[in-house]
């Protein structure tokens, strides 16, 4: 047991070495006068401001507002983009019909359409969720299409030779082979759901992490601003790790060949 604990501790230290080095530089550089501590306070002051926001309940309110919008948009994107991507990837006539439209919208940045969403849907929750839905749909849709098209044709022919119908072929061959690529898109969408939402919350929002960062910057509450940024990064990390765990759950058949 002691040896196992030492091994786990060494592994955790190895994985967190870069973060610990960043924290040390962040703490010492402002105190040593290498950077202006007015604009980059020491990490300890930022953590103190983060704790004050947490204990006052403000941070929980902002995190709750952001997560509700982000997860709603992401869930809607998963529900709509994956089935559509499976159809486009499998049926060539549909892919040829929609390909020009996909090329136009995939190259249109979500934030460039923010004024359009606000103009049509207003400044409320609907426009923010719709923007997250739009931003998250493309990585999921495009990766799903790529995953279906990347299935080994030999596997498909072998399954058909054994008499599998289209439904069983999707269930037993196409979906298992496409799952890793689909989850890559979902993980990208998880990051987009937070980044795009934070930018959207800086326009016309009264709650959310983007509003917190923007409000703190305007009021020159710099530690609060960095506390909001750290919270955004932490949420993104947690969301990514959850998606990685779900990917492993749905692709248990894969063999990890990395050393």
pLDDT at site 201:
83
SS3 assignment, position 117: helix
pLDDT for 76 equals: 93
DSSP labels, 1-63: -HHHHHHHHHHHHHHHHHHHHHHHHHHHHHHTTSS-TTTS--HHHHHHHHHHHHHHTHHHHHH
Per-residue buried b or exposed e for 83-104, using 16+ beta carbons within 10 Å of the residue's own CB = ebbbebbbeeeebeeeeeeeee
Tokens standing for residue 219: 């009021």
pLDDT for res 12: 67
pTM: 0.79
Residues near 39 by Cβ (< 8 Å), separated by ≥ 6? Answer: 222
Burial class (CB in 10 A: 0-12, 13-18, 19+), 199: middle
pLDDT value of position 8: 66
pLDDT for 165: 67
For the chain, the farthest-separated pair of C-alpha atoms sits apart, in whole angstroms, at 73
Mean pLDDT by 10 residues, the chain (259 residues): 66 74 89 86 92 91 90 92 86 80 79 83 84 90 86 71 69 77 87 85 81 89 91 86 76 48
Q: Nearest-5° angle of CA 207, CA 237, CA 102?
A: 80
Q: Say what the pLDDT of residue 257 is.
A: 37
CA quadruple 210, 191, 242, 85: dihedral, nearest 10: 130
Task: Please report the pLDDT score of residue 252 as a whole number.
Answer: 57
Q: Are 128 and 200 in contact (CB under 8 A)?
A: yes
CATH superfamily entry for domain 47-251: MetI-like (1.10.3720.10)
Structure tokens at 104: 């136009």
- Residue 236 has a pLDDT of 85
């Amino acid at each position: 047991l002691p040896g196992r604990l030492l091994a786990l501790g060494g592994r955790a230290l190895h994985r967190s070495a870069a973060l610990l080095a960043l924290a040390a530089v962040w703490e010492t550089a402002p105190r040593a006068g290498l950077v202006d501590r007015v604009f980059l306070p020491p990490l300890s002051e930022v953590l103190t401001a983060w704790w004050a926001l947490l204990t006052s309940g403000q941070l929980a309110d902002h995190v709750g507002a952001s997560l509700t919008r982000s997860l709603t948009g992401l869930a809607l994107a998963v529900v709509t983009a994956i089935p559509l991507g499976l159809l486009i990837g499998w049926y060539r006539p549909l892919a040829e019909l929609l390909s020009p439209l996909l090329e136009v919208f995939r190259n249109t940045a979500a934030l460039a359409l923010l004024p359009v969403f606000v103009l049509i849907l207003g400044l409320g929750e609907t426009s923010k969720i719709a923007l997250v839905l739009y931003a998250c749909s493309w990585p999921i849709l495009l990766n799903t299409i790529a995953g279906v098209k990347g299935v080994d044709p030999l596997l498909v022919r072998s399954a058909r030779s054994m008499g599998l119908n289209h439904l069983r072929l999707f269930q037993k061959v196409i979906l298992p082979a496409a799952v890793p690529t689909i989850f890559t898109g979902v993980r990208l969408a998880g990051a987009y759901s937070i980044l795009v939402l934070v930018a959207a919350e800086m326009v016309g929002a009264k709650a959310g992490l983007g509003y917190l960062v923007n409000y703190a910057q305007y009021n020159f509450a710099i530690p609060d601003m960095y506390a909001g940024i750290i919270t955004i990064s932490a949420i993104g990390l947690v969301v990514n790790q959850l998606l990685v765990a779900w990917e492993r759950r749905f692709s248990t058949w894969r063999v990890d060949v990395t050393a």
